[in-house]
Amino acid sequence: MGRGKIEIKRIDNASSRQVTFSKRRTGLFKKAQELSILCDAEVAVIVFSNTGKLFEFSNSGMKRTLSRYNKSLGSADAAVAESKTQEDSKMVEILREEITKLETKQLNITYLCDYRQLLGKDLTGLGVKELQNLEQQLNEGLLSVKARKEELLMEQLEQSRVQEQRVMLENETLRRQIEELRCLFPQSEHVVPSFLQYQRTERKNSLVNTGTRCLNLADNCGNEKGSSDSAFHLGLSAGVQEEGPQERNLFK
């Protein structure tokens, strides 16, 4: 028959309690030794009886195991403290972000109110001193705007002067280049006639053409009437009459 299930509670009988303590302590140390051998683990067991007597077991030495335990406990505490510090820092960062958002929102509201007041709106709740301060701010802002405007105009004027000087330098350079080219390639002796001379030549040619036509007409009339004085009757000179045939040959 198997052993019956024992109720886990304090044994009232002192002798039975002492016997059970001895048996179970021996079994506990045996299990600890087996665990250290089978699993290659470092095991240490400390037991105090109800009378205060110490019983211990350690496969690697109690001091060594306790030192390792203290280090592990310290590192665990450090890890816990570090994790707590990280959580605190995260919480602090979140709170800072919230504060920054609230401050930014408050500043935006303040700037909006100031902007509306600068536009001349929402002035009902302002006193005399506040209105004077607002007027002073407007005057200072107007002076700043005028100063900036003058500065920009001066910059544009300076840029225009620089561009003008640059254009003048370019014109001077081109003029010198033209003079150098004229020196290298002097003008030929053949003079190109001007526009007025060209007009005079064209007019003279037209007169010659007209005289030629008149001579042709006079010749035709002389052939029909048989008279050689028709040219004088038309008011033409003899020289023109003599030059007529040559000019007719030239203009045919």
For the chain, the domains span 14-83, 139-187, 205-251
What pLDDT was estimated at residue 85? 78
Paired tokens of 166: 């640059």
What confidence tens digit (pLDDT) does each residue in 74-121 have?
776 667 777 777 788 888 888 888 898 888 887 777 766 776 766 777
Q: CATH top-level class for 14-83? A: alpha beta
pTM > 0.85: no
- Residue 131's nearest CA partner among 140, 142, 118, 113 is 118
Neighbouring CB atoms inside 10 A of 218's CB total 21
Average pLDDT, stretch 222-239? 45
What dihedral angle (degrees, nearest 10) is formed by the CA atoms of 98, 100, 105, 110?
140
What confidence tens digit (pLDDT) does each residue in 157-208 have?
999 999 999 999 999 999 988 988 888 876 554 444 545 555 566 666 665 5
Q: Which helix (H) or strand (E) holds 9?
A: none
What confidence tens digit (pLDDT) does each residue in 5-42 have?
777 888 888 888 899 999 999 999 999 999 999 998 99
Distances (CA, A) of 241 to 203, 205, 212, 213, 224: 20, 16, 9, 11, 17
Does the pLDDT at position 230 exceed 60? no
Query: What residues are paired with 56 via a beta bridge?
Result: 46
